[in-house]
Amino acid sequence: MAFKSAFRIIIKRFGLAWTVALFILILALIIGALSLMFILPVLSAFNDAGITRQIGASFMGILNGSGNIGAEIQSIWTQIQSVFSDNRRLTLSTVILFFIVMFIYKFLLGFYELPLYQSLEGEMSSNLKVKFSHAFIAKLGISSRFILVKLIYTTLYDALFFLGLYYLLGLFFVAGGAYFAPIVILIYFVLFQALRYTLIAFWGTEVVLNRAPIFQSFAFSARKASKNFVSVFFSFCAAWLIIIALNVFIGIFTFGVGLMATIPVSVLFIAILNMTHFYTKTGRRYYADGRIITPKRVK
């Protein structure tokens, strides 16, 4: 029910995707400008070591069918390690600046979430439209606190994810790994993302809809997720498979331009799915495309 309702709602509130797109564009410009602080020195070091030329030659070789993907990746990775091991100052400055920029990125990115729930809540509870801009201003204070607390969760979870990804990348270096490693990594990504969003599916929604304290809302989300784990988890698995397929297909056939639309739509869909799960699992009636949806436990 929650998954099907999410599709109905996103069709009716598709205009919110353009608001999300504008938010992401502004954020991308800010982060892009800040990232130049560590990207330019690294690119200069790579260019001096001949890595950029090797990447270009390897790419062309792969396209022509004359390159060995695993060997090419291993050779490039070895050279990259050599650049950073030989230049400690570059390594230290890159790591420090990277984490600073990532913190700023994650902090600013989080400001869309609670206002988006507030805007959707007006639609789903009362069939009324609430402007995102109004909700954004109204939620600035609680959003700041929510983001800082949520960063603890996302940082720990991301660390575990990248640790696992690091070991999975080793599959590219085994015989035939270049053919099955992408599939294994895709499955790993989908399962990890689905679990990540399952555990916090009710967190932000509880903060907005019930005005509950942040830590109390996290505990509520964990309890709700554990009681409804199978349905919520598999709905996020399906959602991420659709999101990946949509973004890859549109990205390839529009040479990346279409991602300006599909990424905001993906963000909006996950937010709506969180909302429909909240209403469904807490037994609240809600509007979906003008229809009143009554969860089973309310009947």
Q: Give the confidence band of 223 by pLDDT, cuts at 50, 70, 90.
A: very high
> Tell me, what's the pLDDT at 211?
93
> Tell me, what's the pLDDT at 70?
65
> Tell me, what's the pLDDT at 85?
83
Q: Give the confidence band of 298 by pLDDT, cuts at 50, 70, 90.
A: very low
For the chain, the domains span 2-293
Both tokens of residue 14? Answer: 């598709």
> Tell me, what's the pLDDT at 69?
65
Sign of CA dihedral 110, 4, 286, 11: positive
Q: Can you tell me the mean pLDDT for 40-67?
A: 75
Burial of 252 (0-12, 13-18, 19+ CB in 10 A): exposed
Q: Which residues touch 129 (CB under 8 Å, ≥6 apart)?
A: 119, 122, 123
Tell me the pLDDT tens digit for each residue of 161-216: 999 998 888 887 777 777 788 899 999 999 999 999 999 999 999 999 999 999 99
**Percent share of the chain, pLDDT over 90:** 55
283: pLDDT strictly greater than 80? yes
Q: Give the confidence band of 61 by pLDDT, cuts at 50, 70, 90.
A: low
Tell me the pLDDT tens digit for each residue of 243-253: 999 999 999 99
> Tell me, what's the pLDDT at 299?
43
| Its pTM surpasses 0.75 | yes
